[in-house]
């Protein structure tokens, strides 16, 4: 048996560390899972297969289809790495989860189970109505394209089980495709392959947990417009309860949303909902102020009426009393706005729903167009 250095590419002349141009057939199979898209990373568990040919390992089959090995360190294995990896590990329960088959013609099949956390740059401006493309990139670390070229298997290079595609809780996988991503550096050109996976966020998940609760709170805040203007304590109590509720909902939503430096679609929605609820407080202040003015005007009117009863409209010389002519104009102004509080409520019953409906139209048209 030939003795060779496992750290060198296959070459029978060990004194020359130059590798023959090797083609690797890559094959993802069995399992894929997305666990975390909040921090622009995602977790994937996969069975990763490579196939290449090493002429040093040719043997007489003697009726055997292949020979299995359990120790990959005894072979030369391509120095492949995942270029967008954050962390990763092999699985060793109960034994190392790997498979090595050597065929009579020197062809090698290497299969290993890997868990990876991978970076995925995301644009979250349309969150949670966004679509993302995440990649798994595999490249050679030290061998250039003069030594190693990675190739995808021609038929079904990527296999993702149907239950994984359909059971992602917050996402739907639209499609996936294989491609090449060779990179050139000062030390040469390095072979690289990748799989691009397109995901759409499941909007219904956020509809029932974010949009519907906040919409309900905004609609509920309008109940105060239908209560009697003088029930100020009840109206204010309802508003405070709604404010506390929107704060709790907003805090919960933000805790489960990705942190970015720009404004997301969900931030716009939450901000406008809080704005509408604060506008209800302004309406309550206007109504309360109108009631106060109305009471002051009524008291002033009674005071003037009492003074008119105790004094003559003209003085002792027959001249007109200037007080009466001076107060007639403001009395007419106060009489004109005597039901101002009720009028504010009536206008608010129409204005607030119309404004919120207009915002909804603009919001959904804008972000739905971006989602397509």
118 close to 84: Cβ distance less than 8 angstroms: yes
268 contacts 363 by C-beta, under 8 angstroms: yes
Rounded to 5 degrees, φ, ψ at 8 are -110, 150
Q: Do residues 32 and 43 make contact, with C-beta atoms less than 8 angstroms apart?
A: no
Cβ count within 10 A of residue 111: 17
pLDDT value of position 314:
47
**Side-chain half-sphere of 279: how many Cα atoms within 13 Å?**
18
How far apart CA 108 and CA 54 sit, in angstroms, is 7
CA distances from 6 to 59, 231, 327 (A): 18, 87, 108
Token code pair at residue 358: 């207009």
Provide the token pair at 208.
Answer: 């029932």
DSSP-derived secondary structure letter, 226: G
Q: Where are the beta strands (DSSP E) in the chain?
A: 22-29, 41-53, 67-69, 80-82, 85-90, 98-102, 107-119, 131-140, 148-152, 171-180, 183-185, 188-190, 192-201
Structure confidence at residue 75 (pLDDT) = 86
What are the distances in angstroms from CA 347 to CA 53, 77, 341, 344, 350? Answer: 81, 77, 10, 5, 5
Judge contact between 224 and 238, C-beta under 8 A. yes
Dig out the tokens for 284 from the structure.
């309550």
Token duo for residue 243: 């404010």
Going edge to edge, which strands form the sheet with 171-180?
80-82, 131-140, 192-201, 171-180
pLDDT of residue 303: 61
Which residues of the chain carry a pLDDT beneath 70? 1-39, 164-166, 293-339, 372
Q: How far apart are CA 205 and CA 289, in angstroms?
A: 43
Provide DSSP, 73-142.
Answer: GGS----EEETTEEEEEE--SSS--EEEEE-TTSEEEEEEEEEEEEE-----TTTTS-EEEEEEEEEESS
Q: What are phi and psi of 194, to 5 degrees?
A: -150, 160
Cβ–Cβ < 8 Å for 36, 132: no
């Amino acid at each position: 048996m030939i003795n060779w250095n496992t750290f060198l590419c296959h070459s029978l002349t060990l004194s020359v560390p130059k590798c023959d141009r090797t083609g690797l057939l890559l094959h993802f199979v069995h399992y894929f899972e997305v666990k975390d898209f909040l921090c622009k990373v995602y977790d994937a568990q996969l069975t990763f297969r490579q196939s290449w040919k090493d002429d040093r390992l040719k043997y007489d089959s003697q009726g055997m289809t292949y020979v299995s090995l359990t120790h990959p360190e005894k072979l030369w294995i391509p120095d492949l790495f995942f270029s967008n990896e954050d962390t990763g590990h092999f699985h060793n329960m109960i034994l190392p989860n790997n498979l090595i088959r050597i065929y009579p013609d020197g062809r090698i099949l290497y299969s290993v189970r890997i868990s990876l956390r991978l970076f995925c740059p995301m644009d979250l401006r349309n969150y949670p109505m966004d679509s993302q493309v995440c990649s798994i990139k595999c490249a050679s670390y030290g061998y250039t394209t003069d030594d190693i070229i990675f190739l995808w298997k021609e038929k079904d290079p990527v296999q993702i089980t149907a239950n994984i595609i359909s059971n992602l809780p917050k996402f739907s996988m639209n499609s996936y495709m294989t491609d090449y991503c060779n990179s050139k550096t000062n030390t040469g050109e390095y072979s690289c392959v990748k799989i691009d996976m397109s995901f759409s966020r499941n909007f219904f998940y956020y509809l029932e947990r974010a949009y519907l609760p906040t919409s309900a709170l905004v609609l509920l805040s309008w109940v105060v417009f239908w209560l009697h203007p003088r029930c100020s304590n009840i109206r204010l109590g309802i508003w405070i309860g709604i404010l506390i509720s929107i704060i709790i909902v907003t805090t919960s939503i933000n805790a489960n949303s990705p942190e970015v430096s720009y404004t997301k679609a969900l931030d716009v929605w939450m901000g406008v909902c809080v704005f509408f609820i604060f506008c209800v407080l302004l309406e309550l202040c206007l109504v309360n102020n109108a009631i106060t003015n109305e009471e002051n005007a009524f008291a002033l009117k009674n005071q003037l009426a009492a003074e008119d009863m105790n004094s003559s409209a003209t003085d002792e010389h027959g001249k007109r009393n200037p007080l009466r002519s001076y107060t007639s104009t403001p009395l007419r102004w106060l009489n004109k706005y005597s039901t101002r509080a009720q009028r504010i409520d009536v206008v608010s019953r129409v204005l607030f729903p119309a404004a919120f409906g207009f915002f909804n139209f603009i919001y959904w048209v804008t972000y739905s167009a971006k989602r397509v």
